[in-house]
Amino acid sequence: MQYIDNILFVILMIAGFGLFAKSLQKIYRNILLGKEINRSDRKGERWETMARVAMGQSRMVKRPIAGILHLFVYVGFVIINIEVLEIIIDGIFGTHRYFSTLLGSTFYGIFTATLEVLAVLVVIGVVIFFIRRNFYGVKRLTMKELFGWPKNDANWILIIEFVLMVAFFTMNGADYYADQVSGAQHFNSSFPISRYLFPFFGNFSLEALHITERIAWWFHFIGILFFANYLYYSKHLHIILAFPSTWYANLDLYGKFNNLDSVTKEIKLMMDPNADPYAAPAEGAEEAPSKFGAEDVFDLNQVQLLNAYACTECGRCTSVCPANITGKKLSPRLILMKTRDRLEEVGRNIDKNGKFEDDGKKLLNDYITKEELWACTTCNACTQACPVLLDPLSIIFEMRRFLVMEQSAAPQELNLMMTNVENNAAPWQYNQADRLNWAND
Using alpha carbons, list the distances in angstroms from residue 140 to 236, 354, 368. 17, 39, 20
DSSP annotation of 282 reads P
Same-domain check for residues 222 and 267: no
Q: What is the mean pLDDT of residues 338-365?
A: 94
Helical ranges in 41-97 per DSSP H: 43-49, 64-80, 83-93
Residue 21 has a pLDDT of 95
Query: Which residue would you say has higher pLDDT here, 251 or 287?
Result: 251
Q: What is the mean pLDDT of residues 412-434?
A: 81
Least confident residue range of 162-166, 282-286, 386-390: 282-286
Residue 71 has a pLDDT of 87
Q: What is the mean pLDDT of residues 410-434?
A: 82
Q: Is 301 helix (H, G, I), strand (E, B) or coil?
A: strand
- Within-domain flag for 438: no
- Within-domain flag for 249: no
CA distance 305 to 32: 8
Same-domain check for residues 144 and 282: no
Same-domain check for residues 289 and 419: yes
Q: Is the pLDDT of residue 285 over 60?
A: no
Query: Which residue would you say has higher pLDDT here, 173 or 281?
Result: 173
Residue 337 sits at φ, ψ, to 5 deg, of -65, -40
Residue 2 has a pLDDT of 60
Residue 258 has a pLDDT of 78
Residue 22 has a pLDDT of 95
Using one digit for the tens of pLDDT, what is the confidence trace for 51-110?
999 988 888 888 888 888 888 888 887 787 788 889 999 999 988 888 888 888 888 888
Same-domain check for residues 271 and 227: no
The answer to whether residues 316 and 271 touch, using CB atoms and an 8 Å cutoff, is no
Same-domain check for residues 219 and 316: no
Same-domain check for residues 275 and 202: no
Q: In the listed set 178, 202, 236, which residue is the last one of a domain according to the structure?
A: 236
Same-domain check for residues 278 and 232: no
What is the distance between the terminal CA atoms of the chain, rounded to a whole angstrom? 99
Using one digit for the tens of pLDDT, what is the confidence trace for 157-180?
999 999 999 999 999 999 889 888
Residue 91 sits at φ, ψ, to 5 deg, of -65, -40
CA distance 110 to 98: 15
Same-domain check for residues 307 and 272: yes
Same-domain check for residues 211 and 76: yes
**C-beta atoms surrounding 52 within 10 Å:** 13
Residue 394 has a pLDDT of 93
Please name every residue paired with 233 in a beta bridge, in sequence order, or none if there are none.
none
Q: Is the pLDDT of residue 284 over 60?
A: no
- Within-domain flag for 53: no
Using one digit for the tens of pLDDT, what is the confidence trace for 196-219?
999 899 889 999 999 999 999 999
CA distance 408 to 402: 8
pTM: 0.86
- Within-domain flag for 303: yes
DSSP secondary structure of 402-419? HHHHTS----HHHHHHHH
Q: What is the mean pLDDT of residues 166-195?
A: 85
Residue 277 has a pLDDT of 64
Same-domain check for residues 152 and 285: no
* CA triple 55-220-11, angle to 5 deg: 100
For residue 93, with 0-12 CB atoms within 10 Å meaning exposed, 13-18 middle and 19 or more buried, which class applies? exposed
CA distance 433 to 362: 46
Residue 280 has a pLDDT of 59
Residue 106 has a pLDDT of 84
Cβ neighbours of residue 276 closer than 8 Å, sequence gap 6 or more: none
Q: Quote the domain boundaries for residue 406.
A: 261-431
The answer to whether residues 293 and 400 touch, using CB atoms and an 8 Å cutoff, is yes
Using one digit for the tens of pLDDT, what is the confidence trace for 316-350?
999 999 999 999 999 999 999 999 999 999 999 99
Same-domain check for residues 284 and 187: no
- Within-domain flag for 422: yes
Same-domain check for residues 231 and 274: no
The conformational region for residue 425 under phi > 0 = left, psi -120 to 50 = alpha, else beta, is: left
Measured over the CA atoms of residue 27, residue 32, residue 37 and residue 40, the dihedral's sign is positive
Helical ranges in 81-148 per DSSP H: 83-93, 98-131
Residue 84 has a pLDDT of 87
Band of residue 308 on the pLDDT scale cut at 50, 70, 90: very high
Residue 297 has a pLDDT of 95
Q: In the listed set 203, 236, 269, which residue is the last one of a domain according to the structure?
A: 236
CA distance 184 to 176: 10
The conformational region for residue 335 under phi > 0 = left, psi -120 to 50 = alpha, else beta, is: alpha
How many domains does the chain contain in total?
Answer: 2
Using one digit for the tens of pLDDT, what is the confidence trace for 225-274?
999 999 999 988 998 999 999 999 998 877 777 777 777 777 777 777 77
